[in-house]
Amino acid sequence: MTEFLYYINVGTAFFLLIGMVLLLARLLSGPTLYDRILAVNSFGTKIVLFLAVFALIIGRDDGVDIAILYALMNFIATIAVLKFFRYSALGVSLEDDFIEEESPPVVPRTSRANKGKQT
Amino acid sequence: MSGEFFHTTQMLIASALMIAGVFFVIAGAIGVIRLPDFYTRMHAAGVTDTLGAELIIFGLIVQAGFSQTSLKLVLIAFFLFLTSPTATHAVVGAAWQSGLKPKLGKYKAPAPGEAIVKPKSKTKTKAKTKAKTRRKSPVKKARAKK
**Which tens digits make up the pLDDT trace of B112-121?**
667 666 666 6
Confirm whether A116 is domain-assigned: no
b (16+ CB within 10 A) / e for B105-129: eeeeeeeeeeeeeeeeeeeeeeeee
pLDDT for residue A93 is more than 80: no
Single-letter code of the amino acid located at A110: T
pLDDT, tens only, B24-76: 999 999 999 998 888 889 998 888 889 999 999 999 999 888 888 899 999 99
DSSP 8-state secondary structure symbol assigned to residue B104: -
pLDDT of residue B46: 87
Mean pLDDT of A8-15: 92
- Displacement of CA A61 from its chain's centroid (Å): 26
Considering the domain boundaries, does residue A94 fall inside one? Answer: no
Cβ(B81)–Cβ(B50) below 8 Å? yes
pLDDT of A110:
46
Domain span including residue A30: 2-89
Q: Which amino acid is at B52?
A: G
Task: Return the pLDDT at B145.
Answer: 60
Q: Is B105 left (phi over 0), alpha (psi -120 to 50) or beta?
A: beta
pLDDT band at A108 (very low <50, low <70, confident <90, very high): very low
The pLDDT value given to residue B139: 55
Question: Is pLDDT of A113 > 60?
Answer: no
pTM summary value: 0.73
Residues 6 or more apart whose CB falls under 8 angstroms from that of B127 comprise none
DSSP B115: P
pLDDT of residue B87: 92
Q: Is A27 within the bounds of a domain?
A: yes
**pLDDT of A6 higher than 70:** yes
**A99 located within any domain:** no
Inform me whether the pLDDT recorded for B143 exceeds 70: no
Phi and psi, residue B118, nearest 5°: -80, 135
d(CA B99, CA A46): 29
pLDDT at B11 over 80: yes
Facing B29 at nearest CB: one of A23, A41, A78: A23
Mutation target vs A (from B25, B41, B42, B61; most A CBs, 10 A cutoff): B25
pLDDT: which is higher, B5 or B81: B81
Which residues in chain A have Cβ-Cβ distances shorter than 8 Å to B83?
71-72, 74-75
Task: Please give the tally of structural domains in chain A.
Answer: 1
Q: Are B25 and A43 in contact (CB under 8 A)?
A: no
SS3 B138: helix
Please determine, for residue A109, whether its predicted confidence score (pLDDT) is greater than 60: no
Q: In this predicted model, which residue has the larger pLDDT, B88 or B126? A: B88
Residue in B with minimal Cα distance to A67? B76
Question: Where residue B99 falls among pLDDT bands split at 50, 70, 90?
Answer: confident
Residue spans per domain, chain B? 2-97
Task: Tell me if A22 is assigned to some domain.
Answer: yes
pLDDT confidence tier of residue A94, bands split at 50, 70 and 90? low
Nearest by CB: A19 against B26, B83, B88: B26
Q: Quick check: helix, strand or coil at residue A119?
A: coil
CATH code of the domain covering residue A21? 1.10.287
Higher pLDDT, A112 or B4: B4
A29-51 tens-digit pLDDT? 878 888 999 999 999 999 999 99
Q: In the predicted model, is pLDDT for residue B6 greater than 90? A: no
ipTM exceeding 0.85, yes/no: no
Closest chain A C-alpha to B127 CA, distance in angstroms = 38
